[in-house]
Every structure is written in structure tokens, then in C-alpha cells.
Amino acid sequence: MEITASLVKDLRERTGAGMMECKKALTENAGNIDAAAEWLRKSGLAKADKKADRVAAEGRIVAAQDGGKAVLVEVNSETDFVAKDDNFLAFTAAVAQAALASGAADAEALKSAKLASGETVEEGRAAVIAKVGEKVDVRRLARVDTTNHVAAYIHGGRIGVLVELKGGDAELARGIAMHVAAMNPPYNKAADVPADFLAKEKEIELAKMSDKDRAKPAEILEKIIGGKVAKIVNEVTLYGQPYVLNTDLSVEATLKAAGAEVIGFQRLAVGEGIEKVVEDYAAEVAKAMAV
């Protein structure tokens, strides 16, 4: 069967694969467009397997929300260039919607969730790898499902935050989410700070004091160290930090004025915890020239 330009165009529009790949798929399958589409899907899976050991530390955080139900998903690529590719962006948006609709608890469960196209997330991942030529990972998922106010905030595609707020309103919830994105507090309230963290900080503050100060009565020493540690607790808790939208007030004071309470928050940033590979292109070229 003759492989016409029109047939190649139809397959390309259907699959999103490159023109030469579409032509090859049609040639391999005697012009049968359905068989060619399936061939391209299998080819995508093969490419995905080959790229499995690569490091994907770039990408995007995406969100989807329906009232008190909201999700964040981290989808990784190898380069920032691909993270801005239309195929990658379309995939990440579709994954966020699939995560919201499916109720998947984590990234592993999300693999079998269905995209709007009818493909599973894992099948869609393989397809986008075939299009962009890089490893793509659906790495992490955060979720909240509540009757309280929820804010899902994305900053620059690289940081995502979910905040659950009891009381207050949607505007305050969004403001708190922006604060979490900017300040990245490790803990919500002072009561959430681990005892071993406090013990370590007390030990450090004591070591920093002069011999003269350490010789003070125990109750005085405890008060001095307690004050220093309290300041550190404010720095590492959401409630203790100055509110980014009004630094004259702490987050705690802002919430109290609104009769609100942060039940919890989740924050994802692209590539957290992934050891990035630093490429030395000059050394690579020099090595190639020496061969």
C-alpha cells in the first residue's frame, strides 16, 4: 500500500509522533493506521525502558482542584527545555486531572489511573517520552479532601502548595499558601516541632555561651536558652513566621484575627531530593577529540 502524505498527517495528528516515525510505522504495518498507532505506542514503551536509568530532576508541579478536593503532582523531565514543551505541559495537566478524579493516594497508584484520552497515566508517560525524547517521571502526589477551605497554589510551575484552612476564607487560604511557597516552613505550629530538634538547639545555644554566662544560676540559664530556642521555633514554624503579605503581623496573629486555623499544608518543589548530574561538556568534548 502506498504511504501517502495524507496518511502520515492523519497518524501524526492522532499520535503526536514525528513525521518520520509515523512514516516508518505505516511502512512497517502496510499502511494500516490502527496497527501503526499501536506500533508507535509499543515503540514509546521501548524508548521509556531505555531511558529508565537517566536522571530526571527538572519538570513541573501541577495542581487540580474541585472545592475541598485538591491535588499536587510532580512530573519530572531531564531538562528545563522539555519542561516547557507543549507535549509535556499537556501531559502534566492531564495527569493532574486524572489524579483528582481517580482518588489515587500516591504516584504508584496514579500509574493505572485513566487520562481523559482513555490511556492510563503510565501509557501516556510512555507516549510523551517518545515525543520529547527524554525520561519523564510522575514522581510525587499530594492530596487533600476536606470540607474546610483549601488553596492549591503553584508558583512558577516549580513550587506547589496545598493548604487546608478551618475558618477564614478562600482569600486567606491562598495567602497562607503563598507564604508557605515563599518561606518553606518545616513545621506548622510550635507543638509540631520534634523534641529532639528542641534538645539539639538547646545544646547548641548552651555551647555558644561564654563560661561566664554558663556559670549563672540554672533558672536564669534556662530562661536565657529558652528565649533563644523560642526564637528559633518561630523561624521554623508557619505560625511563628512574619506573614509575607503583612510582615507587621505573624501568621499566627493574622489567623487569630480572622478566626482561622491552618489544619495542615503540603509543599512540593521540583527535583527535591534528586541528585542532579552536572555535565562537564568541555571535558566531554576534549575526551572525544583525544580519541
The mean predicted confidence, pLDDT, of the chain is 87
Report the amino acid identity of residue 116: A
Pairing of strands 159-166, 149-155: antiparallel
| Grid cell for residue 223 | 530562661
HSE on the CB side for 243, CA within 13 Å? Answer: 19
Contact call for residues 135 and 56 (beta carbons, < 8 A): yes
Question: Tens of pLDDT along 111-139?
Answer: 999 999 999 999 999 889 888 888 899 99
Residue count of the chain, please give it. Answer: 291
Q: How sure is the predictor about 12, in pLDDT bands with cuts at 50, 70 and 90?
A: confident
CA proximity to 181, closest of 148, 156, 164, 146: 156
Q: How sure is the predictor about 211, in pLDDT bands with cuts at 50, 70 and 90?
A: confident
For 195, counting Cβ atoms within 10 Å of its Cβ (0-12 exposed, 13-18 middle, 19+ buried), the class is exposed
| CA separation, residue 54 to residues 51, 184, 243, 281, 291 (Å) | 6, 29, 40, 17, 25
| 82 vs 78: CA distance, rounded Å | 7
| 214 vs 234: CA distance, rounded Å | 24
| 127 vs 17: CA distance, rounded Å | 8
Q: How sure is the predictor about 224, in pLDDT bands with cuts at 50, 70 and 90?
A: confident
pLDDT at residue 255 greater than cutoff 80: yes
pLDDT at residue 291 greater than cutoff 90: no
Question: Tens of pLDDT along 150-188?
Answer: 999 999 999 999 999 999 999 999 999 999 999 999 999
At residue 199, what are phi and psi to the nearest 5 degrees? Answer: -65, -40
Domain architecture of the chain: domains with CATH: 5-50 (1.10.8.10), 58-184 (3.30.479.20), 190-257 (no CATH)
| 262 vs 189: CA distance, rounded Å | 9
Helix runs in the chain, H state only: 5-15, 19-28, 33-50, 80-83, 86-102, 107-110, 121-132, 170-183, 195-208, 211-214, 218-236, 251-258, 281-290
pLDDT at 122: 93
Q: How sure is the predictor about 48, in pLDDT bands with cuts at 50, 70 and 90?
A: very low
% pLDDT > 90, the chain: 60
pLDDT at residue 49 greater than cutoff 50: no
Coil, helix or strand for 46?
helix
Contact call for residues 271 and 58 (beta carbons, < 8 A): yes
